[in-house]
Amino acid sequence: MFDRLKEDINSVFHRDPAARNTFEVLTNYPGLHALLFHRLAHRIWLKDFKWLARSISTFSRWLTGIEIHPGATIGRRFFIDHGMGVVIGETTVIGDDVTLYQGVTLGGTSWNKGKRHPTIGDGVVVGAGAKILGPFEVGEGAKVGSNSVVTKAVPAGATVVGIPGRVIVKSPESDGRRKEMEERMGFDAYGVTEEMPDPVARAMRSLLDHMHAVDERIEKMCTAIRKVNQDYVDNGKLPPLDAEEFDCVRDDSSETAENR
Ligand SMILES: CC(C)(COP(=O)(O)OP(=O)(O)OC[C@H]1O[C@@H](n2cnc3c(N)ncnc32)[C@H](O)[C@@H]1OP(=O)(O)O)[C@@H](O)C(=O)NCCC(=O)NCCS
């Protein structure tokens, strides 16, 4: 039992640089208190003293602001940072080394009995305010962005952000091409979106990606047509995007900014 407690305390040190010493962790971390109460409540739940188990869970919620149903199965080295507003449903299964931040809901979307809450794989990190809703799996090592709403399975190692949650696929090739276009257009999405996600910047990025995908597809189709029909003539290459025109856009916008 003490080994387990030591492990829980160490997991706080590993995941919160603000933790200074064991006494501080034992007395000031509601995530740890909620976990200890849950262990007790879960044992009692399995022995079929359901009301008592629920009451311990409710008492724990009063103290910590964290609601963990006693039926939930939780692995080792689980850590809830800050804690307030976390809700973990009855049929949730959580693996080892999982981290949740405040305001996370591991919930269901149906009132049917049976499995209706998510299964969270080992090493998953769920950002503040994220909601994971439904009886699907969040694969090992996945990251869920703060305030995301995830309603579908997440592959192992993936990062999911947004509402509804989408896997961010980082392709080095498309990133390079995007950056080139954005630089030409004086459209510094990196400067904007790294600090502050901008919906217009995102829309422009999607349009650029889409435009390149369509170009590539047309090029492939032309090549295929040329193979079957030697007489096929396309009217040369598409007109290139003129970098100078984009410079004008940049000049105009900087001029306007200077005049302000
Ligand atoms: C999801 C997360 C793990 C991604 O981290 P990362 O792998 O370092 O990814 P990046 O920061 O490079 O972001 C990648 C992209 O996702 C976007 N993004 C990141 N987090 C996002 C979120 N929560 N919602 C929407 N978009 C998000 C970024 O803007 C960036 O977009 P871009 O490629 O268009 O520029 C991280 O942003 C996160 O939310 N962590 C949770 C932290 C938390 O809750 N802390 C609470 C402390 S109290």
- Give the closest residue (by CA) to ligand 1 atom 27: 161
The residue type at 236 = G
Which of 189, 223, 221 shows the shortest CA–CA distance to 203? 189
Q: Is the minimum distance from the CB of 174 to ligand 1 under 6 angstroms?
A: no
pLDDT beyond 60 at 251: no
HEC string for the chain: CHHHHHHHHHHHHHHCCCCCCHHHHHHHCHHHHHHHHHHHHHHHHHCCCHHHHHHHHHHHHHHHCCEECCCCEECCCCEECCCCCCEECCCCEECCCCEECCCCEEECCCCCCCCCCCEECCCCEECCCCEEECCCEECCCCEECCCCEECCCECCCCEEECCCCEECCCCHHHHHHHHHHHHHCCCCHHHHHHHCCCHHHHHHHHHHHHHHHHHHHHHHHHHHHHHHCCCCCCCCCCCCCCHHHHHHHHHHHHHHHHHC
Mean pLDDT in residue range 30-45 = 97
Q: How far is the CA of 162 from the centre of ligand 1 (A)?
A: 9
Residue of 188 and 36 predicted with greater confidence: 36
- Give the closest residue (by CA) to ligand 1 atom 7: 159
- Predicted TM-score (pTM) of this structure: 0.69
Measured from the CA of 159, which atom of ligand 1 is nearest? 1
What the chain holds in terms of domains, given with CATH numbers, is: 2-167 (2.160.10.10), 172-259 (no CATH)
With cut-offs at 50, 70 and 90, classify the pLDDT of residue 85: very high
Residue of 260 and 97 predicted with greater confidence: 97
Q: What is the pLDDT of residue 2?
A: 81
Mean pLDDT in residue range 6-27 = 92
Which among 161, 193, 208 is the best mutation to test ligand 1's pocket, defined by most ligand atoms within 8 Å of the CB? 161
Residue of 176 and 119 predicted with greater confidence: 119
With cut-offs at 50, 70 and 90, classify the pLDDT of residue 148: very high
Of 129-138, 183-192, 205-214, give the range with the top mean pLDDT.
129-138
Residue of 208 and 137 predicted with greater confidence: 137
Q: What is the pLDDT of residue 219?
A: 82
Q: Is the minimum distance from the CB of 128 to ligand 1 under 6 angstroms?
A: yes
Cα dihedral across residues 33, 38, 39, 43: positive or negative = positive
